[in-house]
Structure 1
Amino acid sequence: MASDIGSGALRSLLFCPGSDDRRMGKAMAAGADAVIFDLEDSVDPSAKEKARELTARVLAGPRELPVVVRVNAADTGWHLADLAAVVRGHPDAIMLPKCASARDLQQLADRLDVLEAAYGIAPGSIAILPLITESAAALHELDYRDATPRLVALCCAGEDLASDLGVQARADGQMNGLLVQARRMVAIAAAAAGVRAIDTPFPDPRDPEGLENETRDAASLGFAGKLCIHPGQVAAVHEALRPTPERVAWGHAVIAALEGASQGVATVDGKMVDIAHLRLAHRYVQMAGTQEGAA
């Protein structure tokens, strides 16, 4: 049965080809907050049907963590077949690649409405996670406010965007400036839509330092999690997203001060805080609680 992916932690979302049952099993046991069974880029066209069948089989069995399925893009001949094959198993979310605007989300939401009704699934219970930066054109359509109640996070995709722009995604340990700008735009778009932002995958599992630095930078921009491509990245991502003890203590102090304040302002560590600080305070405390629960 699917879980409520909208209320759980999404620090790490681990990709795995939906055509490899051995790797799917390893991904489920890697300690990620969610797994993404991929029917798109990591699956050869000749293996699409096998990937659908294997993914549907896993969805039909017991599972202890949220499962997301990345279907093929809506403009491909595989998209509708993907949805028909996997929605019956009630995945926690569908990841929509090549999402170019809120209209794409609304189209997918309409299709999920029909399939949920056909399969006897509770209406609206399958969430949507779109990849919204896979083309330069998509960066001009980042208003996802009120797109659909199914939306739980906006996901950044740096490698595809770099390819579309004709630039290297990273060089000498630094992300390309155009991708840096795109990440900031995703963070702002997610905040405006009232959902979480999930950062682009780090492509080199052999570079833990680079992964740590990039994840900490994402956290400083307000990203709640990071897409992962290898099980070995999961623990490092969780650690990099862990708030410092000082920030957690500040969060607890702000919550205690403001939730009991009649005027909506208070003083913490000699500085004025108000309701604008409360969301950040809750974020630090929630992230710290998630880490402790996973330890």
Structure 2
Amino acid sequence: MKLRTLLFAPADSERKVGKALGSSADVVILDLEDSVAPSAKEAARTLAADQLTGASERSRLVVRVNPRDTPWYIHDLAAVVPHGPSAILLPKCTGPDDLRALDHHLEAFEVASSRQIGSTGILALVTETAASLADMSYAGITRRLQALLFGAEDLAADFGISPRSAEGTLTAPVSAARAALLVAAAQAQVSAIDTPWPDPRDPAGLQRETEAAVRDGFVGKLCIHPDQLSVVREAFVPPPERVIWAESVCRLFKESPNAGVLVLEGKMIDRPHLRLAERILEAASDA
């Protein structure tokens, strides 16, 4: 599953879900959480299950359930897992225990619905509360984990501050959480996905923040409006000179498979450079 552009759509709005499914988003997230009022949770859950049942591209569909400490969480899983979403997005993940619990619950619902065990992936929003930053040791918890997601807005609200300065840069505690997430994702060997840009009417701000995400190692970005997709997609496409460099690195190591260190254009390259080159070429192939 590509994780470059991930577009939220409130699951209780058939119009918005239809628009999202007709977009170029790599992933459409059927949202049962923030965008759905408590009075509409049950209806949204039913509509999400219906969308999954009738979807021609189920591999694009992810469902954001409600947090584990809410009364809706287990009912969300019971309603959607039997219909085969590509993954479950867990919001307000407070640490490894939440991830272990979700892994267990997914297995139970997969068995109950005769689905293959492990067929449902996990995306985890792990920076939405200050408490969640205490333990971000997600390595080795479950093979289902595909990505750790950075959420700036809820975290800033928990701190009682704005997530960004007037210039659009992240405020200090939020920036620290962003760095911690990148480290945690690298340790867990999963993708890191950046927070949404909150203003669909500001493509320049989105461009700046997405370019910073690319620079720092994120592989994709959450989106809240279809108009954001093209800006994000283009930013994550490696420029031609990076692709040429990556092809040269891979070619050198293919020609000298037992080498630990090689020289390219007078500069030393080693196995970490090879991994970076492979990642660049993978991103280019998804363009």
**TM-score, length-scaled by structure 1:** 0.94
Letter aligned with residue 84 of structure 1: A
Say if 2:271 is the partner of 1:275: yes
Cα deviation, 1:161-208, whole Å, max 9, x if unaligned, reads 000011101122222122111111111110110000000111000000
TM-superposed deviation, 1:276: 1.1
For residues 260 and 105 of structure 1, what CA distance do their matches in structure 2 show? 42
Answer yes or no: is the 8 Å Cα contact 1:258–1:265 preserved in 2: no
Q: Secondary structure at the match of 1:175?
A: coil
Cα deviation, 1:18-46, whole Å, max 9, x if unaligned, reads 00011101001110110100000100011
Among 127, 131, 137, the alignment partner of 1:133 is 127
Among 114, 126, 137, the alignment partner of 2:108 is 114
RMSD: 0.9
For residues 66 and 279 of structure 1, what CA distance do their matches in structure 2 show? 27
Letter aligned with residue 276 of structure 1: P
For residues 272 and 288 of structure 1, what CA distance do their matches in structure 2 show? 24
Residue 4 of structure 1 is matched in structure 2 by: none
Among 48, 60, 63, the alignment partner of 2:53 is 60
Q: Secondary structure at the match of 1:168?
A: coil
Residue 94 of structure 1 is matched in structure 2 by: 88
Answer yes or no: is the 8 Å Cα contact 1:11–1:241 preserved in 2: yes
Among 36, 42, 53, the alignment partner of 1:49 is 42
TM-superposed deviation, 1:58: 0.6
For residues 188 and 40 of structure 1, what CA distance do their matches in structure 2 show? 27
Letter aligned with residue 26 of structure 2: D
Residue 229 of structure 2 is matched in structure 1 by: 234
Q: Secondary structure at the match of 2:248?
A: helix
Say if 2:269 is the partner of 1:258: no
Cα deviation, 1:204-233, whole Å, max 9, x if unaligned, reads 000001001101101111000000000111
Q: Secondary structure at the match of 2:255?
A: coil
TM-superposed deviation, 1:137: 1.2
For residues 134 and 122 of structure 1, what CA distance do their matches in structure 2 show? 31
TM-superposed deviation, 1:62: 2.9
Say if 2:6 is the partner of 1:13: yes
Moved over 4 A (4+): none
Letter aligned with residue 285 of structure 1: L
Residue 287 of structure 1 is matched in structure 2 by: 283
For residues 174 and 275 of structure 2, what CA distance do their matches in structure 1 show? 27
Residue 155 of structure 1 is matched in structure 2 by: 149
| More off after superposition, 214-223 vs 260-269 | 260-269
Which residues of 2 match residues 116-265 of structure 1 at below 5 A?
116-172=110-166, 173-261=168-256, 262-265=258-261
TM-superposed deviation, 1:234: 0.7
Among 79, 82, 85, the alignment partner of 1:85 is 79
Task: Provide the aligned length of Structure 1 versus Structure 2.
Answer: 284
Cα deviation, 1:238-280, whole Å, max 9, x if unaligned, reads 1111111111111111111113312222111221101011111
For residues 62 and 16 of structure 1, what CA distance do their matches in structure 2 show? 15
Cα deviation, 1:109-146, whole Å, max 9, x if unaligned, reads 00111100010111101001010001111111111010
Letter aligned with residue 49 of structure 2: A
**TM-score, length-scaled by structure 2:** 0.97
- Give me the identity figure in percent: 49
